[in-house]
Amino acid sequence: MLNFSPAALFIGIFAGICGMAYFAYGKKQARMVPMLSGVLLCVYPYFFDSVWWLVLVGLALLAAPFVIDF
């Protein structure tokens, strides 16, 4: 059963907005890590229905371009 709580919906929308920004930045700078992180930020809310997992995975994906530097 999917969780359609307001918190999960808000996190999904916020992750999508950040994902679009990361993807656009990565494409403009020709950097693969921000582009991949942006795509994953747009897609991952479809696979998690727990708010805690949404927050943890989202924060990890938001931090990935700063931690991983190719």
Provide CB contacts within 8 A for 19, sequence distance 6+: 37, 38, 39, 40, 41, 42, 43
Its pTM stands at 0.87
Average pLDDT, the chain: 92
Q: What is the pLDDT of residue 49?
A: 82
The residue to which tokens 């943890």 are assigned? 56
Higher pLDDT, 50 or 43: 43
How far is the C-alpha of 23 from the C-alpha of 18, rounded, in Å? 9
